[in-house]
Amino acid sequence: MPDIERSGYTVAMAGTRAQQVAGDEKDLTAPGSPAWWAARNDREEPVRRVPITLDRIIAGALELIDREGLNALSMRNLAAELDTGTTTLYRYVTGKDEVLVLVADAVLAERQLRRPLDGSGWREVLEELAHSMRAALSRHPNVAALFATAVPVGPNSLRGRELSLGVLRACGFGEQLAADVYTALAHQVLASVLQEPMNDFRVGGLGTSKSLTLRDFYSSLPADQYPHLVELADEMTSRSATEEFEFALSCLLDGVELRLQRTRDRRHRSPNVKASARS
């Protein structure tokens, strides 16, 4: 019989050593054998893609904007962020503008009240709403600019607006005063968030070396030309963004309280004036 190993045969022939070895290997790799289990455990599980939903698109866009800014958002970049194709995104949204609208409304959904509002007066309610709105926008400063370009009218925006107006009307605010107060409050919150990066500018220094602070700059001005800036250099630069917001909010609500009191005084005097006129 020819030597199998030297003859070049590759098929295990009956009764040969090669057939016995092949049979042993088959037994070792048979389903349920130790080798089979070891091979199966070493096999990598296929990566399962998370299904694309509208909520995932909004969350992915918000994460991208938070990390890289508004200019980084495009349908191509968003598709890469979600590990999908742009065609898939267009099944849920018509384009970038629609994504931005949905992102802005999603940010407003993050507003959380620090305490229950039951039994609170109009001032406490407005303070709480202002703080919750500012906290939500401050978590996403790159999104805040969207609220400066258009009035948000999504469901989350409308709910907050309706709550504020309802409180004001229930507390005796006239129609126009209620609308004006809400608008002023919303503008104050937005302005505070948009201007917050200025605080970094004030404490971080000026110029390429960043060694000159704004306080130092004010102090170095010619006192004969800018006496008050020189005098108040510390006071003009010592407040944090939060402290400035609290002061502005307090001033706004103080003014609203005076306006409301004058409105009530006029209503109280009106019957007396009419009675005097009749007499």
Between CA 157 and CA 104 the distance in angstroms is: 9
What CATH code is carried by the domain that includes residue 176? 1.10.357.10
- Say if 5 falls within a structural domain: no
**What pLDDT is recorded for position 171?**
86
- Say if 81 falls within a structural domain: yes
Between CA 255 and CA 265 the distance in angstroms is: 15
pLDDT band at 20 (very low <50, low <70, confident <90, very high): low
Between 24 and 233, residue with greater pLDDT: 233
- Say if 98 falls within a structural domain: yes
On whether both 73 and 205 belong to a single domain, the answer is: no
pLDDT band at 6 (very low <50, low <70, confident <90, very high): very low
On whether both 102 and 187 belong to a single domain, the answer is: no
* Number of independent structural domains in the chain: 2
**What pLDDT is recorded for position 121?**
85
DSSP annotation string for 170-236? HTT--HHHHHHHHHHHHHHHHHHHHHTHHHHHHHH-BTTT--B-HHHHHHHS-TTT-HHHHHTHHHH
On whether both 186 and 236 belong to a single domain, the answer is: yes
What CATH code is carried by the domain that includes residue 72? 1.10.10.60
Residue with tokens 């605010």: 173
On whether both 144 and 233 belong to a single domain, the answer is: yes
On whether both 165 and 95 belong to a single domain, the answer is: no
On whether both 161 and 94 belong to a single domain, the answer is: no
pLDDT of residue 226 exceeding 70: yes
| pLDDT tens-digit map of 190-207 | 999 998 877 666 666 655
On whether both 136 and 173 belong to a single domain, the answer is: yes
**What pLDDT is recorded for position 8?**
47
On whether both 152 and 197 belong to a single domain, the answer is: yes
On whether both 223 and 261 belong to a single domain, the answer is: yes
- Say if 151 falls within a structural domain: yes
pLDDT band at 277 (very low <50, low <70, confident <90, very high): very low
Domain range for residue 97? Answer: 54-108
- Say if 227 falls within a structural domain: yes
